[in-house]
Amino acid sequence: MPKRNRTPELDHASEDLIASIQDSDALESGLRKFEAERATFLRLFEDAKTDILAEFKTEDPETLSERDQIRFNTKLKYEEGLRDDRLRVIDENMRAYKDEHSKQCNTRKRRRVLDRKIAECQKLAEEDPVHSDWKFIGKLKHAQVTLNDKVQDMSTHQKETYAHVLKELKEKGWRVLAPGGI
């Protein structure tokens, strides 16, 4: 069976799918680490509680003397407070990790989209302006307007590439819309 030619749209869709899967795998891996820490702290609490129960040889503090009841409750409350503090820190770290991961994913996605737009503009720059129809000119202008609006979000490399593309457009005789940040 002959291989099917891949269109650029399929390549972009494949890239997006791969990036999405990688991002979700990274998130899942990070969350698994936090869940493992949570399980460890819960196990530490259970072990400490077992040690306290073994020390006092009872599960019901009412059977103990008043002094031992206070010691029992103090030790148990200390371990519960330690567990709760550790779990709260894990929850805060997990939220921070999710937020940071989301920011990174959004940044990478924006970069991929900008790289595609720059590549599209570069591909359009290869055409001869004399033999272009109005649809083609509209596509090129739309790509430039879109990129000009996103200049402040571009990385240094993207800005350099885009400036080079604009220079190439100008040299070939295309009318170039001046960006704000390059």
Q: HEC string of 107-139? A: HHHHHHHHHHHHHHHHHHHCCCHHHCCHHHHHH
pLDDT at position 62 is 85
Q: Where are the domains of the chain?
A: 22-172
pLDDT at position 61 is 82
pTM check: above 0.75: no
pLDDT at position 29 is 94
Buried b / exposed e along 46-62 (16+ C-beta atoms within 10 A): eebbeebeeebeeeebe
Tokens 């460890």 appear where?
A: 40
Please check whether residue 105 is in contact with residue 22, taking contact to mean a CB–CB distance below 8 angstroms.
no
pLDDT at position 93 is 96
Digits of tens for pLDDT over the chain (182 positions)?
556 565 555 577 788 888 889 999 999 999 999 999 999 999 999 999 999 999 988 888 888 889 998 999 999 999 999 999 999 999 999 999 999 999 999 999 988 888 888 888 888 778 777 777 888 888 888 888 888 888 888 888 988 998 888 888 888 887 887 765 55
The dihedral over CA atoms of 88, 20, 153, 162, expressed in degrees to the nearest 10, equals: 160
pLDDT at position 149 is 86
Distance between CA atoms of 153 and 112, rounded to whole angstroms? 12
Distance between CA atoms of 110 and 69, rounded to whole angstroms? 61
Please check whether residue 105 is in contact with residue 30, taking contact to mean a CB–CB distance below 8 angstroms.
no
pLDDT at position 42 is 96
pLDDT at position 51 is 94
